[in-house]
Amino acid sequence: MTKRSRIILHGKQGANQELRDAVAAVREDGHDIDVRVTWEAGDSGLFAAEASKDGIDVGRSGDRAFMNVATGGFGTEVTVNTNPKLKRLLGGAAYFITGLGRFSELEPVQVRLRGPDLDWEGKILVLAVGNARQAGGGHVLCPEAVLDDGLLDVGVLPDVPDDRQSEAVSELMTKGLHQALKDAARFWRVPWVEVEAPKGIYINLDGEPTHATHHRFELEAKRLKLHLPESTPLLSSSEQGS
């Protein structure tokens, strides 16, 4: 029986030859793969809506959807400003190099987070709202997130003293948010969260940056059907050993 799948690619990956070769190989095995490449704002949400069936959760911020992680703060600026050529050459290490180069620009952001059983306020270096676990470069920001639990994992790295900021950035880029500064990060798991930032905050939605003083993130449960490896840790059933 022929299996049909849809792949939604960020426009930057449209010319990725390795990905093209992988799609061709899977098609040769008898799979029907429909590829969509985003071109302008809103395309990813449109393509996802076209393909939607009951299955795995989808995050949403306003009228924009995301599958993986929405990030804010210093990490977002690093992701947005990392040179694509450097990423192709060095992979995830490119983000670390860019982060060190932009360290002098590090400014904590004042935010307030509100959600079910969540009301937290303070200055942060990094914000992550995850339906899955990793952001650009493979950095683990939401280490326990799964795709089908109906919840978003929210994490922040609060501001630290000036003499520890370089350590915070280094550990964030090399170890992930959950291990930065020996578990200084805070985490919550909620179906929705509102982020208020009086001076505004940049948010990166799976590679698409946006800026506002107010962001609302919510989950559309069981929105998409995905093909995933049986051994994936990103499903709640896999954590139960099935």
pLDDT (tens digit, 9 = 90+) per residue, 191-235?
Answer: 999 999 999 988 888 777 788 899 999 988 877 776 676 778 877
pLDDT tops 60 at residue 119: yes
pLDDT tops 60 at residue 162: yes
Q: What is the pLDDT of residue 240?
A: 43
Most confident by average pLDDT, 3-17, 66-80, 113-127, 219-233: 113-127
pLDDT tops 60 at residue 145: yes
Determine the residue type at 163: D
Q: SS3 for 232?
A: coil
pLDDT tops 90 at residue 113: yes
Instruction: Please report, for the domain that includes residue 76, its CATH number.
Output: 2.60.200.40
Q: What is the pLDDT of residue 188?
A: 94
The CA-CA-CA angle for residues 101, 107, 113, to 5°, reads 130
Determine, yes or no, domain membership for 58. Answer: no
Of 189, 184, 214, the closest CA to residue 199 belongs to 214
Tokens linked to 80: 């947005």
More confident residue, 212 or 105: 212
State the chain's mean pLDDT as an integer.
Answer: 75
Provide the percentage of residues in the chain whose pLDDT is more than 90: 15
More confident residue, 71 or 123: 123
Q: Which residues span the domain enclosing 103?
A: 63-223
**Sequence-ordered strand ranges (E) for the chain:** 4-9, 32-37, 56-61, 64-66, 69-73, 109-115, 118-130, 152-158, 186-190, 192-205, 208-224
**Residue 166: enclosing H or E segment and its boundaries?**
helix 165-175
Determine, yes or no, domain membership for 5. Answer: no
Give the integer Cα–Cα distance in Å for 128 and 156: 6
Look up 208 and say whether it is catalytic: yes
Residue range 71-87: average pLDDT? Answer: 62
CA distances from 182 to 90, 128, 138, 167 (A): 27, 18, 20, 11
Q: What is the DSSP letter of 5?
A: E
Determine, yes or no, domain membership for 172. Answer: yes
Determine, yes or no, domain membership for 149. Answer: yes
> Choosing from 77, 171, 208, 218, which is the catalytic residue?
208
Determine, yes or no, domain membership for 33. Answer: no
Residues with Cβ < 8 Å from 186, sequence gap 6 or more?
Answer: 120, 155, 156, 158
How confident is residue 241, by pLDDT bands cut at 50, 70 and 90? very low
Determine, yes or no, domain membership for 35. Answer: no
Determine, yes or no, domain membership for 118. Answer: yes
Q: What is the DSSP letter of 183?
A: T
pLDDT in tens, 40-65: 776 666 666 666 554 577 777 877 77
User: pTM to 2 decimals?
Assistant: 0.66
Q: How many CB atoms lie within 10 A of CB 91?
A: 11
The CA-CA-CA angle for residues 143, 149, 153, to 5°, reads 40
Determine, yes or no, domain membership for 11. Answer: no
Residues with Cβ < 8 Å from 79, sequence gap 6 or more?
Answer: 71, 95, 135, 136, 137, 204, 207
Do the beta carbons of residue 62 and residue 216 sit within 8 Å? yes
Domain total of the chain? 1
